[in-house]
Amino acid sequence: MSNPLLKPFDIAPFSQIESAHFLPAIKNGIAIANKEIDQIVSNPDAPSFSNTIEALEYSGELLGRVTSVFFNLNSAETNDEIQKIAQEASPLLSEFSNDIALNFDLFKRIEAVYQHREELQLSPEQRTLLTKRYRSFSRNGANLPEDKKSELRAIDKELSKLSLNFGENILAETNAFEMLLTNENDLDGLPEGAKEAAKAMANTRNKKGWLFTLDYPSFIPFVTYANNRALRKKMLLAFGAKGFHNDELDNQEHVLKIANLRHQRALILGYASHAHYILEERMAETPDKVFSFLNEILQKAKPAAEREFKQLEKFAKELDGIDRLEKWDGAYYTEKLKQKLFDLDDEKLKPYFKLENVIYGVFEVAHKLFGLQFRETDQVDTYHEEVKTYEVTNAKGNFVALLYADFHPRPGKRNGAWMTSYKTQMKKESHDIRPHVSIVCNFTKPTPSKPSLLTFNEVTTLFHEFGHALHGMLANTTYPGLSGTSVYWDFVELPSQILENWCYEKEALELFAKHYKTGETIPMELIEKIKESATFMEGMATLRQLSFGLLDMGWHAKDPSSITDVKTYEKTIFKETLLFPDIEENCMSTSFAHIFQGGYSAGYYSYKWAEVLDADAFEYFKENGIFSKKIAQKFRDHVLSKGGTENPMTLYKRFRGKEPKPEALLKRAGLIK
């Protein structure tokens, strides 16, 4: 019992955990969960909702807690030891998952309950759980003959290893690249904050000069502001070539193997492709509907994107005599043109977006909408000294959730931003077990002379991830498998993306956008410029997003066995959305972690899909006031608290009173009038 992960714990005991504790805890968790499954299967009583479906739903609790701690650390605070354990643990977990999914006797009990579902007087949530469990077994091979089950097991084991390797290679590539500049002239155009951060980075690595890396807070300012075109090119080429160097960190084989194994898996299960398999459990339902959706927006966005690109080309030529606009020029001249047209740039805005103020702002928005209170506490164990923790309570002072927040990049932390959880909300034995939720970001660090000042894009990122966190924190369901963000993946982005809208509203900005030195509230003229510039280059941004969705579907909606060259195939997919000349040394697929490491395979379209929902939903708020308690309560009652307890379109229509249409999104993006 010296292993802290094997003792009952409410809050994850990070300071007591050593890497060596994980594998024994995972093995122990698997053994306990297997016993729980055996008890369900060997129960002499006739299968019932309680002794089969509920028993299965509440099984594996220890394993779930341990693996959530482990895999969250593998993303936010990893090291060689943790990565090695992940390589050992993933096949074990894949095997365990298959042991359940392919357990014919267990499936027979579930099927028996499912066949009598009409007689059982189940609540909507219970009906959803029963259907979800039945489908997950039938969809994952419970009815297959033994030889096909063995094939499936082998594929799943291999896939779990490949996706881990894929992610490790990207992290290693990101960490390996450094650009050390010693000539101050090379920094021309860069904001003081970016220079100071680069100087601090060099100091931490005992180097003289200014050090730039592929971490977003370092990479984005460099390609956006550096006047030195050759150095922008160097940075962008390094960023775009992750996993594409034909070396030991190359991901091309991983991409081909993952795509082919997923396709083989789908065929074994009776589906035409991996996308057909995935989309059966999504709002979009079929690949045809996804292609139709993406192409409808493409038709509206492409003319606008091509006009914007010509405008950018003309501007770059007039300003600097650039004859051919390249990808390493995109962010740079977009920013310059934005400054010219709107007299607005991130450097003017950043002083108003001190991280602590933005945190206060997002908390205040949640308070005004949902009556939540956030109190920072240092009494909660964390995995790193930079992690902040907050107790979340409701208007009556009752405990709602525990929130972890981890804001800055580190060598053991993957790029990007995400929300996750350490403990899921559920109701068990008449107790409402409240969730422990975490948001992880990679924002600019404080420097010796300045606090952490966020770009406007980072502000919207924080609101986005906090929207996911609200979905987790305000969950109010009985079963953990339907709680919080356990919803269809093309619905999961609605709570996150809708919250971004408040960043553009005067009423919300005035709560928190205050100058870090003077305390002055952001001037009205800057708010107007933020709103005016919101649709700037939106056609190009939309085209870029669509290109990722089409690439994802390209890998997953057809048989990939004839694809021999990742880059060549990728170019055929990008043909319809290409604006900048292609860069031969770069490849998107080899670092497309969302679909080859994360859970977005055949699902990247969902960002755009959810934008349709969020534009339509926010229009409803605006009609009634952005802090309307009535609309917020409806959103909480029918979306945030409900998780995956009912079909998402049913929930959405209950909130909105009608189905969403793309017009609100296209209008907001300035693509139609």
Q: DSSP 3-state helix, strand, coil percentages of the chain (rounded to 5)?
A: 60, 5, 30
Give the model confidence (pLDDT) of 586-610 as tens digits.
999 999 999 999 889 999 999 999 9
State the pLDDT confidence band at 237, using cuts at 50, 70 and 90. very high
Alpha-carbon dihedral 476, 482, 484, 489, rounded to 10 degrees: -150
Q: Which of 273-277, 327-331, 509-513, 596-600 has the lowest mean pLDDT?
A: 596-600
Kindly state the tokens that stand for 469. 């966190």
Give the model confidence (pLDDT) of 553-567 as tens digits.
999 999 999 999 999
Check whether 96 has a pLDDT greater than 70.
yes
Cβ-contact 590, 566 below 8 angstroms: yes
The amino acid that residue 650 corresponds to is T
- In terms of Cα–Cα distance, which of 472, 539, 528 is closest to 504? 528
CATH of domain 351-534: 1.10.1370.40
Check whether 1 has a pLDDT greater than 70.
no
Q: How far is CA 211 from the centre of its chain?
A: 28
- In terms of Cα–Cα distance, which of 182, 176, 252, 245 is closest to 215? 176
pLDDT, mean over the chain: 95
Kindly state the tokens that stand for 496. 């996150």
Cβ-contact 460, 500 below 8 angstroms: yes
Residues 6+ apart with CB under 8 A from 350: 191, 193, 453, 454, 455
CA distances from 136 to 149, 270, 337, 557 (A): 15, 14, 51, 20
Sort strands 373-376 and 210-212 into parallel, antiparallel or unpaired.
unpaired
Report the distance separating Cα 229 and Cα 78, nearest Å.
34
Check whether 347 has a pLDDT greater than 60.
yes
pLDDT value at residue 668: 87
Cβ-contact 369, 394 below 8 angstroms: no
Residues 6+ apart with CB under 8 A from 225: 189, 190, 191, 194, 332, 335
Give the model confidence (pLDDT) of 155-213 as tens digits.
999 999 999 999 999 999 999 999 999 999 999 999 998 999 999 999 999 999 999 99
- CATH T-level assignment (fold) for domain 242-342+535-673: Neurolysin; domain 3 (1.10.1370)
Report the distance separating Cα 59 and Cα 578, nearest Å.
49
Return phi, psi of residue 141, to 5°: 100, 15
Kindly state the tokens that stand for 239. 């960023």
Mean pLDDT value of segment 435-464: 95
DSSP single-letter state for residue 30? H
CA distances from 394 to 89, 360, 423, 425, 438 (A): 39, 16, 19, 15, 18
Report the distance separating Cα 461 and Cα 417, nearest Å.
7
Kindly state the tokens that stand for 318. 């007039």
Provide the total of helices (H) and of strands (E) in the chain, helices listed first.
27, 9
CA distances from 121 to 116, 126, 172, 399 (A): 10, 9, 54, 32
pLDDT value at residue 335: 94
Question: Which class is 4-143 in CATH?
Answer: mainly alpha
- Residue labelled with tokens 């059966």: 280
DSSP single-letter state for residue 324? S
Catalytic residues: 465
Model pTM above 0.85? yes
Report the distance separating Cα 80 and Cα 99, nearest Å.
29
Q: Where in the chain is the domain with CATH 1.10.1370.40?
A: 351-534
More confident residue, 479 or 599: 479
Report the distance separating Cα 288 and Cα 151, nearest Å.
29
Sort strands 399-406 and 426-428 into parallel, antiparallel or unpaired.
unpaired
pLDDT value at residue 663: 85
Mean pLDDT value of segment 273-299: 96
- In terms of Cα–Cα distance, which of 439, 427, 434 is closest to 474? 434
CA distances from 84 to 72, 158, 177, 347 (A): 15, 16, 22, 42
pLDDT value at residue 167: 94
Report the distance separating Cα 47 and Cα 602, nearest Å.
35
Give the model confidence (pLDDT) of 251-269 as tens digits.
999 999 999 999 999 999 9
pLDDT value at residue 5: 96
CB-based burial label for 630 (10 Å; 0-12, 13-18, 19+): exposed
The amino acid that residue 300 corresponds to is K
Q: Where in the chain is the domain with CATH 1.20.1050.40?
A: 4-143
Length of the chain: 673
Alpha-carbon dihedral 153, 155, 160, 165, rounded to 10 degrees: 150
Q: Where in the chain is the domain with CATH 1.10.1370.10?
A: 242-342+535-673
Cβ-contact 264, 154 below 8 angstroms: no
Q: Where are the beta strands (DSSP E) in 341-489?
A: 373-376, 388-393, 399-406, 418-423, 426-428, 431-433, 436-440
What does R_g of the chain's alpha carbons equal in angstroms?
25
The amino acid that residue 672 corresponds to is I
Cβ-contact 52, 130 below 8 angstroms: no
Mean pLDDT value of segment 417-432: 95
Give the model confidence (pLDDT) of 648-671 as tens digits.
999 999 999 999 988 888 888 888
Give the orientation angle of helix 538-556 with respect to helix 252-268, to 10 degrees. Answer: 60
